Amino acid sequence: MWAMIATWRMAIEGITEACKGLNEGMDAGDAVELAVKMVEDYPFYKSVGYGGLPNENCEVELDAAYMDGDTLAIGAVAGIRDYANPVSIARKLSDEKVNNFLVGAGAEAYAHKNGFERKNMLTDRAKLHYEKRKKETLEKGLSPYIGHDTVGMISLDENGKMCAATSTSGLFMKKRGRIGDSALSGSGFYVDSEVGGATATGLGEDLMKGCISYEIVRLMKEGKHPQEACDIAVNQLDKELIRRRGKAGDLSLVALNNKGEWGVATNIADFTFSVATKNEEPTVYISNRVDGKTIHEVASQEWLDAYAARIKAPIEI
Ligand code: SD4
């Protein structure tokens, strides 16, 4: 069995490509890296890699992580600027004995020393988004934390190896140096080939409060199906946050077990994700929570066409 699941529609091209590889025996680590890199490289995905939205100071600071579910090795970078593929730097860091999680200037120095491609990651389009949002925020007091999507992926290969990877520009208009859940093991991602893996997108500050990716893997280890594990963990954290703090931020999780079964849960409307397995063509689904359970619907061609048009639409300030 091989399988792959990822947050959001933006992952589908990467998943489609990586799954061709998995079908021919590709390693789970190579598959997630390849697929995440495709998302990082595509300029019209405005929350990951090249074209990612900048922080408050109009600087693109990127977070990424990689985890090997066989060895439990983890590598991560946070607040890294001007490198093309943070996920590959994170993967390289997972091979080190220590110093596996580097931030800012330290991460950049490591990347430079190891020959990673330096690239200006701020596009003209991202700058326009920034100008527009800055103006709106000043005029209408909009929350800067709208319009943020992390790509998180879990892969399973024919040898039963599982891997996880994440990559994000974090929350739009974040403070310089702010780090979310995506680079943090247990919160933004977790994978254990003996069980399964999970990865998150949403408000990092709240996802971290529940170490929610680890919680889902823990529930799967107890024997829960990924769908049940996701629903339980998301509902519980959502409820606790509301009880203790009055509100819960966006929480969306995707999970895969080592049999290739998957699950997804969200507390937002119309959360999209991409999945493919040996038995299922690459598919984009749209999820919604109904009575405490997350229901998935295959995205219609009409929806997919509207999405493609939306991400390339001119930005008017
Ligand atoms: C963060 N979780 O930095 C990321 C952002 C995100 O959908 O996933 N948005 O908090």
Q: What's the predicted TM-score (pTM) here? A: 0.95
Question: Among residues 132, 130, 154, which one has the least CA distance to residue 67?
Answer: 154
User: How many angstroms is it from 150 CA to the middle of ligand 1?
Assistant: 5
CB 171 near ligand 1, within 6 Å: yes
Residue 214's Cβ-side half-sphere holds a number of Cα atoms within 13 Å equal to: 12
Q: How far apart are CA 170 and CA 12, in angstroms?
A: 20
User: How many angstroms is it from 185 CA to the middle of ligand 1?
Assistant: 14
Who has greater pLDDT, 78 or 173?
A: 78
User: How many angstroms is it from 168 CA to the middle of ligand 1?
Assistant: 7
pLDDT recorded at residue 222: 98
pLDDT recorded at residue 312: 85
Question: Among residues 261, 287, 101, which one has the least CA distance to residue 197?
Answer: 261
Name beta bridge partners: 78: 103
pLDDT at 53 over 90: no
pLDDT band at 11 (very low <50, low <70, confident <90, very high): very high
pLDDT recorded at residue 144: 64
pLDDT recorded at residue 275: 98
pLDDT recorded at residue 302: 95
CB 204 near ligand 1, within 6 Å: yes
Q: How far apart are CA 44 and CA 26, in angstroms?
A: 28
Catalytic site residue from 150, 168, 201, 266: 150
SS3 per residue for 97-162:
CCCCEEEHHHHHHHHHHCCCCECCCCCHHHHHHHHHHHHHHHHHCCCCCCCCCCEEEEEECCCCCE
pLDDT band at 176 (very low <50, low <70, confident <90, very high): very high
Q: Which of 79-88, 110-119, 127-136, 188-197 has the lowest mean pLDDT?
A: 127-136
CB 100 near ligand 1, within 6 Å: no
What is the 3-state composition of the chain as percent helix, strand, coil, each rounded to the nearest 5?
35, 25, 40
Which amino acid does the sequence have at 190?
Y
pLDDT at 121 over 80: yes
Report the domain count for the chain: 1
Q: How far apart are CA 60 and CA 56, in angstroms?
A: 9
Q: Which atom of ligand 1 is nearest to the CA of 149?
A: 7
pLDDT recorded at residue 149: 83
Quick: pLDDT tens for 242-286.
999 999 999 999 999 999 999 999 999 999 999 999 999 999 999
Quick: pLDDT tens for 68-109.
999 999 999 999 999 999 999 999 999 999 999 999 999 999
Q: Which atom of ligand 1 is nearest to the CA of 201?
A: 8
Substitution site in 146, 169, 171, 251 for ligand 1 pocket (most atoms within 8 Å of beta carbon):
171
Substitution site in 77, 150, 268 for ligand 1 pocket (most atoms within 8 Å of beta carbon):
150
Is residue 74 one of the residues assigned to a domain?
yes
CATH at residue 11: 3.60.20.30
User: How many angstroms is it from 52 CA to the middle of ligand 1?
Assistant: 12
pLDDT at 230 over 90: yes
Is residue 43 one of the residues assigned to a domain?
yes
Name beta bridge partners: 66: 75, 165
User: How many angstroms is it from 169 CA to the middle of ligand 1?
Assistant: 8
Q: Which atom of ligand 1 is nearest to the CA of 63?
A: 3
CB 150 near ligand 1, within 6 Å: yes
Q: How far apart are CA 255 and CA 238, in angstroms?
A: 18
Bridge pairing between strands 151-156 and 74-80: unpaired
Name beta bridge partners: 118: 83
pLDDT recorded at residue 161: 98
Name the packing angle between helices 86-93 and 28-41 (round to 10°): 150
Is residue 27 one of the residues assigned to a domain?
yes
Annotated active-site residue 71? The verdict is no
pLDDT at 52 over 90: no
Q: Which atom of ligand 1 is nearest to the CA of 188?
A: 2
In the predicted model, what is the mean pLDDT of residues 215-233? 98
pLDDT recorded at residue 146: 65
pLDDT band at 147 (very low <50, low <70, confident <90, very high): low
In the predicted model, what is the mean pLDDT of residues 302-313? 89
Question: Tokens for 94?
Answer: 């997972």
3-class SS at 99? Answer: coil
User: How many angstroms is it from 207 CA to the middle of ligand 1?
Assistant: 9
* Spatial CB neighbours of 177, under 8 Å, sequence gap ≥ 6: 61, 79, 104
CB 79 near ligand 1, within 6 Å: no
pLDDT band at 137 (very low <50, low <70, confident <90, very high): confident
Is residue 222 one of the residues assigned to a domain?
yes
CB 202 near ligand 1, within 6 Å: yes
pLDDT at 148 over 70: no
Question: Among residues 239, 276, 232, 280, which one has the least CA distance to residue 253?
Answer: 232
Quick: pLDDT tens for 284-301.
999 999 999 999 999 999
Is residue 317 one of the residues assigned to a domain?
no
pLDDT recorded at residue 192: 99
Percentage of the residues of the chain whose pLDDT score is greater than 70: 98
Domain limits for position 305? 3-312
